């Protein structure tokens, strides 16, 4: 088996077809310093059970046997890491996402298992940072929901209670424009509404005071000055006035909705935030190659769990 990290899908399938390689790779991800610790007692005297690809604490009062999956999104999954790693590779590198039906056919699992699997990977793709955005920032919002014209009459009467964006889910985003040596970056998430008391705290939490903030003419953004150099563009008049525009975020929304409409078709509002995180990750890591995006996603698998019960209930 080659020790060279895979660069494309066919290489990844071949590389991770060996469960021993998968086990070693998982250990390197979870314990990058090489010091394996017991999840029960925290001890670092840990041995290996090679025949079962398990680990065992050697402390006399512990003797805990555990898998390298413990404490990750893979924990308690009956699927082998050979299937998991290929699924992670596919979702992180599919520009328009990948459906659970397609993953189910490719891996030989049920659609239900594939759906759960993909949401667990989306959880790993969520990245957070305490570093605030600087320079020139675009702020904008969009709405996600089915078109009434595509609904059956009974569904339309059930779900559509008003016009415009009523009954749709709001998503708010911030884009830091391209700077020297760094591509533009996006932060986005589902918000309960687009009122001033909702949007302004988000901008203040994520953007460094003094930055240039460009928005559309939505009145909810009034109040950003004088902490920020806030300028607006009225889309009813023009799409841009020099540097003042939100075209970067409009491009991101177009990519996101192409993913929803073309691949996922129907997304429940309770799960929408993970789909936003998925597209945000791929957008922010677009300058890297497939192997790099896979590695970055694997860094996020630790310390996160999403059980099927929580997923189905919408409580995660």
Look at residues 182, 179, 181, 189 and name the one whose alpha carbon lies nearest to residue 212: 179
User: Of all helices (H) and strands (E), which one includes residue 16?
Assistant: none
- What's the pLDDT tens digit per position in 226-284? 999 999 999 999 999 999 999 999 999 999 999 999 999 889 999 999 999 999 999 99
> At what angle are helices 272-284 and 290-298 packed, to 10 degrees?
130
CA distance 181 to 83: 36
Q: Which residue ranges in the chain fall short of pLDDT 70? A: 1-3, 146-165, 315-316
Q: What was the pLDDT predicted at 130?
A: 85
- Is the overall model pTM greater than 0.75, yes or no? yes
Q: What was the pLDDT predicted at 1?
A: 47
CA distance 308 to 115: 10
Q: Give the up-direction half-sphere exposure of residue 306: CA atoms within 13 A in the CB hemisphere.
A: 23
CA distance 104 to 83: 11
């Amino acid at each position: 088996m080659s020790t060279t990290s895979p660069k494309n899908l066919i290489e990844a399938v071949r590389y991770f077809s060996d469960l021993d390689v998968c086990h070693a790779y998982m250990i390197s991800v979870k314990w990058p310093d090489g010091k394996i610790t017991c999840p029960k007692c925290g001890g670092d005297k840990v041995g290996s059970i090679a025949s079962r690809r398990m680990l065992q604490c050697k402390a006399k009062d512990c003797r805990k046997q555990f898998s390298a999956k413990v404490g990750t999104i893979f924990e308690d999954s009956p699927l082998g890491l050979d299937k998991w790693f290929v699924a992670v590779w596919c979702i992180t590198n599919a520009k328009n996402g990948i459906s659970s039906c397609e993953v189910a056919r490719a891996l030989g699992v049920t659609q239900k298992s594939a759906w759960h699997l993909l949401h667990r990977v989306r959880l790993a793709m969520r990245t957070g940072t305490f570093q605030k955005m600087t320079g020139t920032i675009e702020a904008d919002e969009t709405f996600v929901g089915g078109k009434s014209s595509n609904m059956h009459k009974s569904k339309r009467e059930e779900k559509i209670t008003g016009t415009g964006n009523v009954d749709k889910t709001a998503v708010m985003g911030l884009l830091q424009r391209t700077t020297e040596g760094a591509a533009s970056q996006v932060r986005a998430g589902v918000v309960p509404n687009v009122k001033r008391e909702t949007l302004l705290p988000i901008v203040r939490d994520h953007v460094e005071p003094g930055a240039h903030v460009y928005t559309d003419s939505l009145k909810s953004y009034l109040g950003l000055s004088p902490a920020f150099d806030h300028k607006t563009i009225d889309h009813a008049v023009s799409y841009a006035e020099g540097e003042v525009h939100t075209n970067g975020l409009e491009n991101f929304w177009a990519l996101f909705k192409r993913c929803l409409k073309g691949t996922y078709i129907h997304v429940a509002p309770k799960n929408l935030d993970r789909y936003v995180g998925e597209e945000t990750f791929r957008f922010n890591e677009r300058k890297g190659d497939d192997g790099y995006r896979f590695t970055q996603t694997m860094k996020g698998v630790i310390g996160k769990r999403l059980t099927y019960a929580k997923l189905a209930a919408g409580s995660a």
